[in-house]
Amino acid sequence: MDRHSINSPLRSLPFLRALAISLFAASLVVACASSPPADEQPAVEQSKPAPAPVAEPAPAPPAQPAPVYREAPAEPAVRLNPRHPDRYVVKKGDTLWDISEMFLKDPWFWPEIWYVNPQIGNPHLIYPGDVITLVYIDGKPRLILERGNVARLSPRVREEPLADAIVTIPYEMIKAFLSKPQVLDKDTVENSPYIFTTQHGHLVHGAGAEVYVRGGDFAESDVFNVMHVGEKLYDPDGGDFLGYEGIYVGEGTIKREGDPATMLLNATQREALNGNLLLEPIEDFPLYFTPRSPDEQVEGTIISVIDGVSVIGSYQIVTLNRGSSHGLEPGHVLAVYQAGRVERDRFAGGWRGEKVQLPDEYAGLSMVFRTFDRISYALIVRAESDIHVLDVVRNP
């Protein structure tokens, strides 16, 4: 073997060493590339505790509506009569209604304009000779009272000034209805004493006649009102029976006790008949009340008129189907409207025509002066057109 052949493997050693180093480095690179980093190693699954239950949130309270602020209703406007005086001296025979109309276009606003002077005794009572003056207080019209007689400022017995003070409406128009019952219930009609007959068997009697009476515990000098039982009164709104109309006939005094007793007819306004009832007079009744509108809304109907006239005018008395149970009081003023009739419009709705309800039309004013539970009596204080039974009344 020559020297060249022996040295040939030795010469290849550096090459082999470099190859081995390269292979080792390559294996390291492959190993590093195939192993995931520590932070990417899959974590060992552990049993986790169940999450704690979360409480349901409480429902929110309903939203409160924003408060609504409404303006206070405006005070009713007091309208003065364009022809009002600035100063008026009260005269005998005047009524409070007359004076209200003198100063006000709407007389039922009297409480709004009347100034109560605390330095005057009974400031709501007005006497002949008193002076009423129109003034303005805080820009609003007011009526102030000056006593025409200074002596009245001193304390006096109640009956004395009441006898002199002016009344609200003409007393002679209503005096027969203030102290006499005008609505008679069934028990009163069936159980009251009555005129039986006369010595000569007459059926009709006048003032000065003596009549026999029965049905009561009579004592000499007892005084009775003689009443005629009129028509039954029904409510046109529902047909309910309201009572019997009581019509004043006259007055009588017991002259002899017994059964039958003897009664003298002192005065009569119409013929007294056998069967007419005898009722004790009612002594306590109001003469003075303030004209005003009802506090509540009232709508009713005229169901009858005293003496049965067909056309109702000023200062006639009507019966209304509304009473104290509906909020009516003496002094309340109600407007009267002619009830609108139903007409057929033959220009519409075919050959028979369409039914049309015509509107109610203003006809005047009434003032309530006596009330019962379900009916009342009112005086027509203003009639601007004809008024009839079944016409409508409501707040003015």
pLDDT per position as a tens digit, 370-391: 888 899 999 999 999 999 999 9
Positions of E strands within the chain: 87-89, 131-137, 140-146, 183-184, 194-197, 204-205, 210-214, 223-234, 241-256, 261-268, 272-273, 277-279, 299-305, 317-320, 333-338, 342-345, 354-357, 361-371, 376-383, 392-394
Which range among 132-136, 167-171, 358-362 shows the weakest confidence by mean pLDDT?
167-171
Tell me what pLDDT residue 9 has: 46
Distance CA 338, CA 341 (A): 9
- Tokens representing 6 are 């022996």
User: Does 12 reside within a domain?
Assistant: no
347 falls in which pLDDT band (50, 70, 90)?
confident
Task: Determine the average pLDDT of the residues in 326-351.
Answer: 89
- Residues 381, 309 share a domain: yes
Q: Which domain holds residue 134?
A: 87-166
Residue 303 sits in a domain whose CATH number is: 2.40.10
- Residues 351, 263 share a domain: no
pLDDT digits (tens, 9 = 90+) for 56-79: 555 555 555 554 444 444 556 789
- Residues 182, 161 share a domain: no
Asked if the model's pLDDT at residue 29 lies above 50, the reply is: no
Task: Tell which residue, 161, 101, 117, 76, has the closest CA to residue 291.
Answer: 101
> Which of 113, 141, 166 corresponds to the end of one domain?
166
- Residues 272, 311 share a domain: no
> Which of 132, 166, 200 corresponds to the end of one domain?
166
User: Does 17 reside within a domain?
Assistant: no
User: Does 157 reside within a domain?
Assistant: yes
Task: Tell which residue, 328, 335, 306, has the closest CA to residue 372.
Answer: 328
User: Does 208 reside within a domain?
Assistant: yes
- Residues 264, 215 share a domain: yes
* Secondary structure letter of residue 152 according to DSSP: G
User: Does 28 reside within a domain?
Assistant: no
- Residues 329, 303 share a domain: yes
Tell me what pLDDT residue 322 has: 95
Please give the tally of structural domains in the chain: 3
Cβ neighbours around 313 below 10 Å, total: 13
User: Does 241 reside within a domain?
Assistant: yes
> Which of 166, 191, 224 corresponds to the end of one domain?
166
User: Does 219 reside within a domain?
Assistant: yes
pLDDT digits (tens, 9 = 90+) for 287-336: 788 999 999 999 999 998 876 677 899 989 999 999 999 999 999 999 99
- Residues 252, 213 share a domain: yes
Tell me what pLDDT residue 43 has: 45
pLDDT cut 70: percent of the chain above it: 73
User: Does 243 reside within a domain?
Assistant: yes
Asked if the model's pLDDT at residue 198 lies above 90, the reply is: yes
Residues forming a β-bridge with 167: none
- Residues 370, 323 share a domain: yes
Tell me what pLDDT residue 117 has: 74
Task: Determine the average pLDDT of the residues in 189-208.
Answer: 95
Distance CA 103, CA 320 (A): 28
Question: Which residue would you say has higher pLDDT here, 372 or 349?
Answer: 372
Tell me what pLDDT residue 30 has: 47
- Residues 256, 328 share a domain: no
- Residues 378, 347 share a domain: yes
- Residues 269, 187 share a domain: yes
Which range among 162-166, 190-194, 240-244, 275-279 shows the weakest confidence by mean pLDDT?
162-166
Asked if the model's pLDDT at residue 90 lies above 50, the reply is: yes
Which range among 45-54, 196-205, 263-272, 290-299 shows the weakest confidence by mean pLDDT?
45-54
